[in-house]
Structures are given as C-alpha cells and as structure tokens.
Amino acid sequence: MVVTERGASRRVERTQPEAPDNNPARPPGVEAPTRAWWNESARTTAAAYVFLSPWLLGFFGITVLPMLASLVLSFTNFSGSFARMEWVGLDNYRIMFTVDPAYWGSVRVTLLYVLVSVPVMLAFALAVAALLNKGIRALGLYRTVFYIPSLLGGSVAIAVLWRFVWGESGLLNGVLSLVGVEGRSWIGNPDTALITIMVLNVWTFGSPMIIFLAGLRQVPVSLYEAAALDGAGRRARFWYVTMPSISPVVLFNGILAIIGGFQAFTQVYVVSGGTGGPAGSTLFYTLLLYQRAFTELRFGYASAMAWVLLAAIAAVTAVVFASGRFWVHYGEGEER
C-alpha cells in the first residue's frame, strides 16, 4: 500500500496543473487526489496480470478446462473418437462401483497402502528427527544420508533395484540366509508384494523428517524448562510439550503424504511390470486408471475414475483437517 501511495504522489506532482487539490483540509505538500490514486492502482493491476499471464494461461488452459472436460467425459463412453462418443449418464460410475471386477480390489490396495505406509513413514520421520534434534554431531551428514532416498524414491532406477532386493534370489533373502531364515520371492507372492511397495514409501521418510526437524527447532526451550521444573520426565515432555508444539507440522506432513500416497504410480508400475500383479495385489488405483485409459482406451470410464479419486482425496483431506480440531494446537508464539 505504501508503495502505491508514494508512487501516486510522484505521479501527482507531474500532473499537478490538471488536478488541483480540492481538499482544503489537506496540509500543503501532501496531495493524493482519488483519481490519480485509482490510475496507479489500475496500473498495478494491469502489471500484475501481465506478470500472471503465463500462470493464467496454464491455470485455465491446462488445469481448469481439462478438469471440466474430464468431468464431462466421465458421463460419456469416449474412447478416442468424438464421432462415436455417446452420452451414457452415470453408467461409468455404475459400472465402476458394481461391475468392474478389478475396481474394489484397487481401492482396497490403495487404501491399505495409504493407511499403513503413511503413519509408519511419519513415525519414522519424527523419531529420527527427534534424535537428530538433540544437538548431536554430524547433523548435516545424517540429514543428507536420510534425505537422499526421498530424492530417488520416485525414480525407475530405484524401482528396478527394489525388484532385485525383494526378489527370489534378491538381496534380502541373501541377508536372511545368513541368519538361517528361509526366504521367498517377496515380490512374487500376493501376500507380501504390497508390503515391498509400502517399505519403499517408508524408505523415503527423509522429506517429512526435514520438515519435522524444522518444526522441532521452533519449539521454545522455555517450555521444556518449565515442564522439567514441574517434574516432567523425558516421556512426559515428549507427549505434553513436543507433540502439541509440532502438531501443526504433523498435520501438514500427514496431508502431503496422504495426497502423495493416493497418487503413487511409478514404483508400482515398474515393480510389477505394469500389471499390478501378482494376482492384483499391487494393482493401485492409479495403475488401474492408467490401464483403463491408455491400454484399453476407455477414456470416459477412466475420467470417471479420476473424478472419484479427486473426490476421495478431497474427502480424506477434509476429514484429516477437521480432525485437527481435536489434536492440533496452534501455539501463541508461533508464526503462521
């Protein structure tokens, strides 16, 4: 605001002859007629839209319009040719919920994955962050080593590696045989294949860990001192000082991990060779959507699946946010 007003008065000086000060109460030398101010504001707005133009084009062109298009498509049987496209009403949704044999399986797999791997990952992230926050040496080195998997976790190379770690004659079984445990193909077995993908997600706990670390550093030392004076032990201090203080960070990390978890794709695709096998045990929702759209060309149906995914993510996120009322504490001294 100060910026615009100063700019305005500069303009006014130049245009003084045409814009006489008609406010007798104004002290001399301070002039800000409303019209000039409006001009400046309009100029700012115009400049803003110029700066925003690439974003606006992207926002409407490849975000909002595609979203609406996808909603419309979800009520059609579109399969690549607009000439043969028919309006099918809610049929795609009905088929999805009652006919498609793979659908509920993919919902189960995805929910299981999110429900198990997200809390475990966050617990790991918080535990390691709490250890790192004790003022230990080589903090930078630890941070780097724990963070690197987050950076690589989404790559094909790591998914390839995972096949060799959890395979029949893989690394894990080699290590297990050292302690006399008979291994098996963890990836080839429908009971354990999903677990390998969950472990891959937990393996990337470095990113929430960094965020937790930043959060832990902001917990005021005075709170710990007060708690210690009141006789709180280590465990009590963690549950009654640390946890409430960083609960906003837990919420933030949780939301991010949930949204990411619902959209997991690369690892499952590569580990299962694009099939979601064995026996559909790693057929994630996104993988089924990909298959329906890009191998079967059922674009209308896949669009309906995408909208259900959007609704599910929105609902889960909303519930988690709402639950924050009961466990998230926004402290007085904290920013944001």
Partner 1 sequence: MSSATSARRPRSTAGHAAQRTLIHVALVSAAFVMSYPLLWMTTSAFRPSEQVLIEDSLWVSNPTLENFVHGWTSVAQTSFGTFFANSLIISVLAVVGNVTSCALAAYAFARLPFRGRKIWFALMIGTIMLPYHVLLIPQYLLFNSLGWVDTFLPLVVPRFLATEAFFVFLLVQFFRLVPKDLVDAARIDGCGHARIFAQIMVPLAVPALATTAAFSFIWSWNDFLNPLIYLTSQANYTVPIGLALFVDASGTSNYGGLFAMSLLSLLPVIGFFLAFQRLLLDGISTTGMK
Measured between alpha carbons, how far is 145 from 123 in angstroms, rounded to an integer? 18
* Residue from 95, 223, 313, 328 in contact with partner 1 (CB under 8 A): 313
Number of residues binding to partner 1, judged by CB under 8 A: 98
Is residue 299 part of the contact set for partner 1 (CB under 8 A)? Answer: yes
Give me the residues paired with residue 87 across strands: 76
- What is the residue whose two structure tokens read 């839209």? 49
Is residue 315 part of the contact set for partner 1 (CB under 8 A)? Answer: no
Identify which of 216, 212, 240 has the alpha carbon closest to the alpha carbon of residue 228: 240
Measured between alpha carbons, how far is 304 from 242 in angstroms, rounded to an integer? 43
Q: State how far Cα 37 lies from the chain centre.
A: 42
Q: Which is nearer to partner 1, 240 or 252 (CB)?
A: 252
Element (H, E) at 53: helix 34-59
Q: Which is nearer to partner 1, 65 or 181 (CB)?
A: 65
* Residue from 262, 276, 283, 291 in contact with partner 1 (CB under 8 A): 262
CB 257 within 8 A of CB 118: yes
Tokens, residue 251: 């919420």
Q: Which is nearer to partner 1, 194 or 200 (CB)?
A: 200
Q: Which is nearer to partner 1, 20 or 233 (CB)?
A: 233
Q: Which is nearer to partner 1, 10 or 23 (CB)?
A: 10
Is residue 1 part of the contact set for partner 1 (CB under 8 A)? Answer: yes
Residue 63 C-beta: closest distance to partner 1, Å: 6
Q: Which is nearer to partner 1, 23 or 62 (CB)?
A: 62
- Phi, psi for residue 87 in degrees, rounded to 5: -75, 125
Measured between alpha carbons, how far is 179 from 238 in angstroms, rounded to an integer? 36
* Residue from 97, 111, 154, 244 in contact with partner 1 (CB under 8 A): 154
Is residue 132 part of the contact set for partner 1 (CB under 8 A)? Answer: yes
CB 167 within 8 A of CB 187: yes
Residue 328's SS3 state is coil
DSSP helix, strand, coil percent of the chain (3-state; round to 5): 70, 0, 30
Residue 18 C-beta: closest distance to partner 1, Å: 20
* Residue from 90, 115, 123, 160 in contact with partner 1 (CB under 8 A): 160
Is residue 16 part of the contact set for partner 1 (CB under 8 A)? Answer: no
Binding to partner 1 (CB under 8 A) within 165-224 occurs at 165, 169-171, 174-175, 203-204, 207, 210-211, 213-214
Q: Which is nearer to partner 1, 146 or 281 (CB)?
A: 146
Element (H, E) at 316: helix 299-327
Is residue 35 part of the contact set for partner 1 (CB under 8 A)? Answer: no
Is residue 329 part of the contact set for partner 1 (CB under 8 A)? Answer: no
Is residue 270 part of the contact set for partner 1 (CB under 8 A)? Answer: yes
Measured between alpha carbons, how far is 210 from 217 in angstroms, rounded to an integer? 11
Tokens, residue 98: 């009652």
Binding to partner 1 (CB under 8 A) within 79-118 occurs at none
Is residue 303 part of the contact set for partner 1 (CB under 8 A)? Answer: yes
